Structure 1
Amino acid sequence: MLHDPNDDPSEYVIYVIDRGSSSGLRRIWGDEIQDVKRGFLVLWNAEIPVHRVIRVERGGRVIWERGRRARGRR
């Protein structure tokens, strides 16, 4: 997403655990992410540990979800 010039970051939505919100989750749009460094998603106003990421969607489809095995792997 950040390294492929053909990818549009705005197509991505990342869901993270957020203990400060009433729902316990926060939705981050891909174009909010400035960088990924040392295990953190770097936003313009925060750094979020990647271990809090629970799901990644692209174009409305889930492409990764914590606890879900990749297709073709056992």
Structure 2
Amino acid sequence: MSDYEPQIPSPNDDPDGLPFLVVGVGASTGGLEAYTELLDGLSEEPGLALLLVSHLDPEHKSLLAPLLSRGAACPSGRRPRG
């Protein structure tokens, strides 16, 4: 086991920064399972904005937001293209 402790910045470290952390996660095939595991570990108010980005065919209708929002403790939604 390593003694490494990741340094997670606090929004309070930068007075001109956002009042919360923004975390981006990208995935392709198999992303639903990974996203679900990630969301299962978050509290109802995680104190961060989590952006989940999936690589899809632009003509494919994504069902990711409704699938993930079923079991998520925190609020979720979809941002349309554009």
- Category of TM-score, reference length = shorter chain: under 0.3
The normalised TM-score by structure 1 is: 0.23
Larger Rg, first or second structure (1 or 2): 2
Greater percentage in strand: 1
Higher relative contact order (CA 8 A, sep 6+): 2
The normalised TM-score by structure 2 is: 0.22
